Amino acid sequence: MYNDLLPVIQKYNPDVIAIETQYFFRNVRTLRSLAESVGAIKLTALLNSRARICEFEPTKIKRAATEKGNAKKDVVKEAVCKMFNLPGDIPDDQSDAIACVLTYIKEEIKPENIQYKKNKGWVHGGHQIC
């Protein structure tokens, strides 16, 4: 994961990285896998950037996308695709990532101040959002 994430961080040099956190799992394997992924993201960011890491609970992410904290994954995906005019067949991890960034936008900054810049992505106040 480090080797996959490093080129993205180097290319975009984000100021903020938004990630989903989980505090409860029924499946220990899933929890371990997520914990390892979050750890790899944090380590890659800390060693290779000055990005601030923002963590959001799943209910907050679902609420940001659908206004319902208990929305199912397919409802979140549908809302994200509609909001950003994306095809409905994007992978789940992509719609999850977009919903996480949307949560950051709604929780931390004013959405009306966000712009999209070619080769930089989403920008707020001169800072990239990744």
pLDDT at 4 over 70: yes
Domain range annotation of the chain? 2-129
Fold of the CATH domain 2-129: Nucleotidyltransferase; domain 5 (3.30.420)
Which residues sit opposite 129 in a β-bridge? 16, 122
What tokens appear for 9 in the block? 């961080």
Contact call for residues 121 and 115 (beta carbons, < 8 A): no
* pLDDT tens-digit readout, 8-60: 889 988 888 998 887 666 777 777 887 888 888 899 988 888 888 999 999 99
* pLDDT tens-digit readout, 93-124: 899 999 999 998 888 876 666 677 766 677 76
Residues 6+ apart with CB under 8 A from 17: 41, 45, 51, 52, 53, 54, 130
Q: CA–CA separation, 50 vs 33, rounded Å?
A: 25
Give the per-residue pLDDT at 111: 63
Give the per-residue pLDDT at 103: 93
- Residue 33 half-sphere exposure toward CB, CA atoms < 13 A: 6
Nearest to 57 by CA among 21, 26, 104, 31: 21
* pLDDT tens-digit readout, 61-104: 999 999 999 999 999 999 999 988 898 889 988 999 999 999 98
Q: CA–CA separation, 58 vs 94, rounded Å?
A: 15
- Record the pTM: 0.75
